[in-house]
């Protein structure tokens, strides 16, 4: 029995359930261990190996989620800030949603992993979340999901209907395009050039009027190109100019590792930024400053300009 064939998609599923890449890794490892110990009891006449593994993973996720608060983004907790100079005080007591490093899974596994969709899914009750993902994303039948969850087909269909209604239009990709789309690459390239040049007007020209900027673990967030630009002006004023950027992808979206200048030394990793690009403009930027996020993406904490040139 080769359980490893399913590790990548199980990792993506557990991430969607838990909102944490590190927790997802732990639960997948637990799933593999449980499956190995129970391998003699597996009956291929009752379910495929894949269905059986997802039953184990789902139960492990539901156990991990018992009594736990959802993992939000700042924009899911309250109104936007109107003060671009507001103190950037982290809220360490909030279990923030984490990004997912695309390099850890195959391309087809990254579908439906956009941050906005994962954040919205986090607001669902845990069993509704599981039904939605197993039915809509992984395309198990209602009967298979009922077996995995130990419930009825009618209960599965009812939970799916409620989950769909709760998500509304969030799951609609709309005009959001893939990071490898030439139009997206062009926008991201322009954004990187403006960012490295500390060109705030250039950055603002690449934004939609209602662009969102948020920075977990700081709970405040901004809406609108004006406040976005004012905040970026503050960043360059306080942290200096001459930043360097490394491009990658997360959650099926373009992402940037931003390295801040250091006097007389190499650039230091400051943030991982996950961009949403639609209609030729940046609509959303989620900026992560958690060292655990950096570890998940295997990002070096310091890098020279020469290193960055070679990475592009």
Give the CATH number for residue 37.
1.20.140.160
Note whether 151 and 18 are same-domain residues: yes
Mean pLDDT of 197-201: 98
Note whether 134 and 204 are same-domain residues: no
Longest CA span, the chain? 66
Judge whether 122 lies within some domain. Answer: no
Between 108 and 194, name the one with better pLDDT.
194
Note whether 191 and 63 are same-domain residues: no
- Say yes or no to pLDDT of 169 above 90: no
Q: What's the pLDDT tens digit per position in 170-182?
A: 644 445 567 788 9
Note whether 152 and 279 are same-domain residues: no
Q: What's residue 312's pLDDT?
A: 54
66: number of Cβ within 10 Å: 7
Judge whether 121 lies within some domain. Answer: no
User: Residues 272, 198: contact at Cβ < 8 Å?
Assistant: no
Note whether 159 and 299 are same-domain residues: no
Domain count along the chain: 2
What is the value of pTM for the model shown? 0.92
Q: What's the pLDDT tens digit per position in 261-307?
A: 998 889 999 999 999 999 999 999 999 999 999 999 999 999 986 66
24: tokens are 């997802």
Average pLDDT, the chain: 91
Q: How far is CA 239 from CA 39, 231, 245, 261, in A?
A: 55, 12, 15, 8
CATH of the domain at 196: 3.10.450.50
Judge whether 123 lies within some domain. Answer: no
Bin 19: left if φ > 0, else alpha if -120 < ψ < 50, else beta. left
The residue range of the domain holding 16 is: 1-68+128-164
Note whether 231 and 304 are same-domain residues: yes
Note whether 148 and 212 are same-domain residues: no
Note whether 153 and 234 are same-domain residues: no
Note whether 13 and 78 are same-domain residues: no
């Amino acid at each position: 029995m080769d359980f490893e064939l399913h590790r990548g998609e199980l990792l993506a599923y557990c991430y969607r359930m838990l909102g944490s890449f590190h927790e997802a890794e732990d639960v997948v490892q637990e799933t593999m261990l449980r499956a190995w110990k129970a391998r003699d009891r597996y009956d291929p006449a009752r379910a495929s190996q894949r269905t059986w593994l997802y039953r184990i993973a789902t139960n492990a996720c539901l156990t991990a989620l018992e009594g736990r608060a959802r993992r939000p983004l700042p924009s899911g907790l309250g109104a936007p800030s109107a003060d671009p100079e507001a103190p950037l005080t982290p809220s360490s007591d909030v279990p923030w949603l984490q990004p997912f490093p695309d390099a850890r899974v195959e391309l087809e596994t990254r579908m439906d992993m956009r941050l906005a969709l994962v954040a919205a899914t986090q607001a669902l009750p845990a069993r509704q979340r599981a039904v939605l993902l197993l039915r809509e994303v992984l395309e198990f039948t209602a009967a298979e999901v009922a077996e995995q969850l130990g419930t009825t087909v009618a209960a599965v269909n009812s939970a799916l209907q409620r989950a769909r209604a709760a998500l509304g239009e969030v799951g609609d990709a709309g005009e959001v395009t893939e990071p490898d789309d030439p139009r997206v690459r062009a926008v991201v390239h322009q954004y990187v050039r403006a960012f490295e040049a500390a060109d705030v007007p250039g950055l603002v020209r690449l934004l939609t009027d209602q662009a969102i900027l948020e920075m977990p673990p700081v709970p405040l967030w901004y809406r609108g190109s004006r406040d976005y630009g004012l905040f970026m002006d503050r960043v360059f004023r306080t942290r200096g100019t001459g930043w360097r950027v490394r491009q990658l992808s997360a959650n099926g979206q373009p992402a940037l590792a931003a390295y801040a200048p250091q006097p007389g030394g190499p650039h230091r990793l400051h943030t991982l930024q996950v961009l949403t690009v639609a209609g030729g403009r940046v609509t959303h930027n989620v900026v992560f400053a958690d060292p655990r996020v950096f570890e998940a993406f295997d990002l070096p904490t310091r890098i020279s300009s020469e290193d960055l040139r070679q990475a592009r």
